[in-house]
């Protein structure tokens, strides 16, 4: 964290990163925090049994573990849920949204993340619980089988 150009990745699922750590990092380094998911195929899905490569994975209470062990097997986190969790932990909503959008784009060196004239016009609509309600891709609203 001491290096001024280091990006600080956090998995904001309550399992990988403690809520107090998320809040502290967001307050201390708001311009360098990046939310990541470490998501597996069960991301956003119900509890159940899944396969990760050749490994059996059990998801219980939203936490993915190698079947029959206490070893975490990635996460089931979505970025909208990471924003929801961060805000619930006391992170400023603007800092949380930037950590899930523009800052990861900058971290990866992508020309994305800003809504500007001539840009891609990619965005999501969120409800009061920070859940995705609509998706804008290249300036067009996307319809999906899930009702977004």
Residue 13 is a catalytic residue? no
Measure Cα distances from 5 to 8, 50, 132 in Å. Answer: 10, 38, 31
Sheet strands (E) in the chain: 8-10, 33-35, 48-52, 55-60, 63-66, 123-126, 132-137, 140-142
Dihedral over Cα of 79, 84, 87, 89: its sign: negative
Q: Which of 13, 38, 92, 114 is catalytic?
A: 38
Tell me the DSSP string of 64-101. Answer: EEETTSS-B-SB---HHHHHHHHHHTT--HHHHHHHHT
User: Which residues are tagged catalytic?
Assistant: 38
């Amino acid at each position: 964290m001491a290096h001024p150009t280091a990006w600080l990745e956090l998995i904001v699922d309550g399992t990988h990163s403690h809520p107090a750590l998320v809040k502290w990092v967001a307050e201390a380094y708001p311009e360098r925090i990046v939310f990541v998911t470490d998501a597996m195929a069960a991301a956003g899905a119900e509890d159940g049994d899944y396969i990760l490569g050749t490994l059996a994975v059990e998801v219980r209470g939203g936490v993915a573990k190698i079947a029959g062990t206490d070893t975490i097997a990635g996460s089931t986190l979505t970025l909208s849920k990471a924003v929801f969790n961060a805000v619930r932990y006391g992170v400023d909503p603007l800092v949380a949204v930037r950590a899930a959008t523009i800052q990861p784009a900058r971290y990866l060196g992508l020309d994305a993340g800003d809504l500007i004239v001539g840009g891609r016009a990619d965005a999501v609509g969120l409800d009061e619980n920070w859940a995705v309600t609509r998706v804008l891709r290249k300036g067009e609203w996307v319809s999906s089988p899930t009702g977004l």
